[in-house]
Amino acid sequence: MRRFGLVIFDLDGTLVDSRADIAAAVNHAIGVVAGKGVLDEAVYPYIGEGLKYTFGELTGLTDGDRIARMVDEYKRFFYDHCDVHSRVYPGVAETLKAMGRFHRAVATTKMTFMARRVVNAMGLLEYLDHVQGSDEIPLKPDPTLFRLVIERFGEDPARTLVVGDTEKDVLAGIEAGCVTAAVTYGIRSAGDLESYGPDYMVDAFPDLLEIVAG
Whole-structure pTM value: 0.95
Count structural domains, the chain: 2
CATH number at residue 50: 1.10.150.240
Based on the residue annotation, tell me whether 10 is a catalytic residue of this protein: yes
Quick one: 53 and 143 in the same domain? Answer: no
pLDDT of residue 36: 85
Residue 178 confidence (pLDDT) above 60 = yes
In a domain, 1, yes or no: no
The string of pLDDT tens digits covering residues 38-80 is 999 999 999 988 999 999 999 999 999 999 999 999 999 999 9
Residue 90 confidence (pLDDT) above 60 = yes
Over range 89-106, report the average pLDDT. 97
Based on the residue annotation, tell me whether 80 is a catalytic residue of this protein: no
CATH number at residue 118: 3.40.50.1000
Quick one: 11 and 24 in the same domain? Answer: no
Contacts 24+ apart (CB under 8 A), 94-102: 94/206, 95/205, 95/206, 95/208, 95/209, 96/124, 96/127, 96/128, 97/127, 98/209, 99/7, 99/127, 99/208, 99/209, 99/212, 100/127, 101/2, 102/2, 102/4, 102/5, 102/6, 102/7, 102/212
- Reference 26, options 77, 68, 61, 60; nearest CA is 77
Q: Which amino acid is at 47?
A: I
Residue 21 confidence (pLDDT) above 80 = yes
Catalytic residue among 10, 21, 165, 169: 10
Residue 185 confidence (pLDDT) above 90 = yes
Instruction: Decide if 9 contacts 172 (C-beta within 8 A).
Output: no
Quick one: 57 and 117 in the same domain? Answer: no
Quick one: 26 and 11 in the same domain? Answer: no
Where residue 1 falls among pLDDT bands split at 50, 70, 90?
Answer: low
Quick one: 11 and 30 in the same domain? Answer: no
Residue 2 confidence (pLDDT) above 90 = no
Quick one: 99 and 189 in the same domain? Answer: yes
Of 81, 99, 115, which residue is a domain's last?
81
Residue 214 confidence (pLDDT) above 80 = no
Quick one: 108 and 194 in the same domain? Answer: yes
59 is in which domain, residue-wise? Answer: 19-81
Quick one: 61 and 156 in the same domain? Answer: no
What proportion of the chain, given as a percentage, has pLDDT over 70?
A: 100
Quick one: 129 and 193 in the same domain? Answer: yes
Quick one: 104 and 193 in the same domain? Answer: yes
Of 81, 97, 130, which residue is a domain's last?
81
Of 81, 100, 115, which residue is a domain's last?
81
Instruction: Decide if 75 contacts 32 (C-beta within 8 A).
Output: no
In a domain, 26, yes or no: yes
The string of pLDDT tens digits covering residues 106-135 is 999 999 999 999 999 999 999 999 999 999
Over range 18-33, report the average pLDDT. 96
Quick one: 12 and 24 in the same domain? Answer: no
Over range 154-170, report the average pLDDT. 97
